[in-house]
Structure 1
Amino acid sequence: MLEKFEAHINDKFPEIYSQKILLAISGGIDSVVLAHLFNKLKINFSFAHCNFRLRGVESDLDEQFVKDLSSNYKIKTHVTSFNTEDYAKSKKISTQLAARELRYNWFHQILDEHKYNKLATAHHADDNLETFLINLTRGTGLEGLTGIPEKTNKLIRPLLPFSREEIELFALKHKIKWREDSSNNSTKYLRNKIRHEVIPILKEISPALLKNFNNTTNYLKESQEIIDDRIKDISKNIITKEDDVIKINIKKLEALPNPKAYLYQFLKGHGFSEWDKVTKLLRAQSGKFISTNSHILLKNREFLLFSHINSDDLLKNSISVIEEGTKVINHPIQLTISNTTETMVENKNSIIVDKNLLFFPLRIRRWRNGDVFYPSGMTGKKKVSKFFKDEKLSRFEKEKAWLLCTADDKIIWIIGMRQDRRFKVNSKTSKLIKISK
């Protein structure tokens, strides 16, 4: 297996010989064998071990085993522990999902802090098959059937072509010691149930199961590549991006032979699961939306607008104060303020105001229901919400709007859109101020 592994590294991962690798190690046979192989090939690697405190003394003995192994190899070891059950309860997720979130968040932190080039995990061919079957039982798109990827930007899985049987035989032949996780024998977890009860029957039916599975996933990956190329081509005509909002042209999308399939390809990987509801947005009233924990999809007239729910939402209730004499403000929006002799501006990104009409300190804030202003170029007053509606702003655009107000909360400017005429210059104006975004 060593020769086969070396050939595989030379073919798929030749760069790691000159890199610094972080190996995720549990103490189980797979990660211990991977450590042995890395050591034989003189790859520069360190250990990262998580103690999830789920098996009492067993978990502590796993940690000690990993520390002893790192001493034998004379390599660095990063160790951490988690209160996994408390984390799972607080997040209202399964223990397994909690452990996954905790360990990968920590792995990426170690990668960044210690400048490792790659994280290596010991997933192998049987893990790949188990993942395929789990995804199949849950319902999945094509990506869920293409198996575990061998590499991503920061992650490599060098053991993926090797079966559990090959790894066990290698460990026994070379008298490699490892730790057994007793929870792996419990069939209360779906993965273990598939491992112990389903896959043995499949292997009995087809002894060449893993080989045939590898061939199938390769065919599926090739098909996915064709789909990705097609989506890339179609996207140029259907999708545009303005700032951090993606716009999907509904009319052009519905002209395609299978709009639902294309919509799935555009939005996959962002937490959407109820695809019938996603598709219904195409014919829904403007303003209807659905959201996930991270993204929102909004119907806005002839477009679907797709945006990340980000930290900018935390600024909704924030207020910034501008004292008299301030020349530049950078938060939450950048503005420059200067004395001027100009009386006109060329675009909506600047206004000229009568300084004597301002009541300092000025404030920048989000708009609120009930806000009213006196739009320049019009008579009378207008609700800000009505102004937004008349301007046909999307929900995203409304949420990103900022108001410049006086100390007594009179609106001076819907920034970048419309000035309030109460503060415009007139024949009696003696001091002019230019405010620009």
Structure 2
Amino acid sequence: MDIYLAKRLENFDLEGISYLESAKNLLGFSAQVDSTCLFYVLLNLGIDFDIAIIDYQIREDSKLEVAHAKNLAKKYNKKIFDIKSPKFNSNFEANARTFRIDFFKKIIKSHNYKNLILANHLNDRLEWFLMQFTKGCALNSLLGFDAISKLDDFNIIRPFFNTSKRQILEFLYTNNIKYFIDKSNDDEMYLRNYFRKNFSNHLMEKYENGIKKSLNLLKNEYEILYGQTKIHNLNDNIYFFTKKENHINLHNIDICAKKLGYVISSKQRDEIVKSNYSCITASKIVIDNNSFDIYVAKNDIRYKHSKKIRESFRIRGIPPKIRPLIESIL
């Protein structure tokens, strides 16, 4: 296939491409349907990028996928970063997500990438919406990821934000592009797979355009209701923002927790409010506040400080639960 003459490229409604032009970009790659399509779309657009792939060691094909990724990287002169994750015996999806984010962060920081490119698409947005909807979530949790977002010092760009799985498969089929299929996607033990097979796939087949329009209208209303969130950080593991109404505070805590690789449940949100924003959630996220701000931190390395340093933290308004997580005076 001539990468500059791919068919059906004009069918894509791509997001965030201007961010990628003349920038240093890293593509989260799996060799499966979505990221393979995005790989070739970016090639056709002349976007410069390298790739990162993770072997989760749970499927026989994973070694073949990594080998295929290395062949593509060699063929198209891309750097490739690959790693084997530990074998997670429980809560695979959450542990894999945390491992994946940490892996990408390390690469981006070490090699000065400006953008992380991910292949999440319209079907993923609907799946998330349906799962959250059935949990009783409010608007701030219904819509999931954005087309363009920021994490630490880099952007996360999702060009397929408004692109359906149908369009992705049509592109791969028309251009005779090789890709792998994750057989575990048929396993309804995973909640997302259950919703995909029983609900979202059928809805997308019949109502794709309406679903796309509705999700984007809800996104616009979300921006009106919550506005632009101003979240600051002391370091990569500690964030804070100005206190507002409860629904906005919880929304901001959600964002901070996701930056730290954790998704807060509806029950945990209730517990956070009851604690008056001073608690440790699932032993992973520390939340505390002062008169003006709410702090959200990763429950990580704890430091022992002298009385003088502890007093300096108090004077600066750092809440008690956050102080041991700070290495030195600000």
Q: TM-score range by the shorter chain?
A: 0.7 to 0.9
Residue in 1 that maps onto 2:328: none
Q: Please, which runs of 5 or more residues in structure 2 have no aligned partner?
A: 1-7, 231-238, 258-263, 325-330
Residue in 2 that maps onto 1:167: 168
The one of 142, 149, 167 aligned to 2:146: 149
CA distance in 2, matches of 1:96, 1:145: 19
Give CA-to-partner distance per residue, 1:381-404, whole Å, 9 cap, x none. Answer: xxxxxxx9xxxxx99469969xxx
1:96 aligns with 2:97: no
CA distance in 2, matches of 1:195, 1:53: 23
Residue 281 (structure 1) shift: 5.4
The one of 2, 15, 19 aligned to 2:19: 15
Residue 267 (structure 1) shift: 4.6
Look up the equivalent residue of 2:19 and give its one-letter code: E
On the 8 A contact 1:124/1:160 being kept in 2, the answer is: yes
1:3 aligns with 2:15: no
Give CA-to-partner distance per residue, 1:61-104, whole Å, 9 cap, x none. Answer: 1111111122222222111111232xxx4xxx511211111111
Residue in 2 that maps onto 1:131: 128
CA distance in 2, matches of 1:229, 1:181: 38
Higher strand share: 1
Q: Residues 164-203 of structure 1: matches in 2 within 5 Å?
A: 164-203=165-204
Residue in 1 that maps onto 2:69: 66
Larger Rg: 1
Look up the equivalent residue of 2:25 and give its one-letter code: I
Matched residues, number:
293
Select between 217-226 and 151-160 the one with higher mean Cα deviation: 217-226
The 1:99/1:268 distance shift into structure 2, 3 A limit, reads closer
The 1:217/1:396 distance shift into structure 2, 3 A limit, reads same
Residue 203 (structure 1) shift: 4.5
Residue 294 (structure 1) shift: 2.7
Residue 274 (structure 1) shift: 4.1
Residue 147 (structure 1) shift: 3.9
Q: Residues 44-59 of structure 1: matches in 2 within 5 Å?
A: 44-55=48-59, 57-59=60-62
The 1:313/1:217 distance shift into structure 2, 3 A limit, reads same
Q: Which has the higher contact order (CA 8 A, sep 6+)?
A: 2
Alignment root-mean-square deviation, CA: 3.7
Look up the equivalent residue of 2:29 and give its one-letter code: I
Residue in 1 that maps onto 2:210: 212
On the 8 A contact 1:33/1:171 being kept in 2, the answer is: yes
CA distance in 2, matches of 1:311, 1:180: 36
On the 8 A contact 1:146/1:218 being kept in 2, the answer is: no
The one of 279, 291, 316 aligned to 1:290: 279
Q: Residues 8-407 of structure 1: matches in 2 within 5 Å?
A: 8=14, 12-55=16-59, 57-85=60-88, 89=89, 94-153=91-150, 154-203=155-204, 207-208=206-207, 210-229=208-227, 260-261=246-247, 264-265=250-251, 267-269=253-255, 270=257, 271=264, 273-280=267-274, 289-292=278-281, 293-297=284-288, 306-308=294-296, 314-316=302-304, 318=305, 332=309, 396=319
The 1:112/1:268 distance shift into structure 2, 3 A limit, reads closer
Residue 315 (structure 1) shift: 3.6
CA distance in 2, matches of 1:230, 1:23: 27
CA distance in 2, matches of 1:310, 1:189: 26
TM (normalized to structure 1)?
A: 0.58
The 1:170/1:96 distance shift into structure 2, 3 A limit, reads same
CA distance in 1, matches of 2:248, 2:121: 32
Percent of aligned positions with the same letter in both sequences? 25
The 1:179/1:116 distance shift into structure 2, 3 A limit, reads same
Give CA-to-partner distance per residue, 1:116-165, whole Å, 9 cap, x none. Answer: 11111111111111111122223323122224210112211111211111
Look up the equivalent residue of 2:280 and give its one-letter code: S
The 1:140/1:65 distance shift into structure 2, 3 A limit, reads same
Residue 310 (structure 1) shift: 7.0
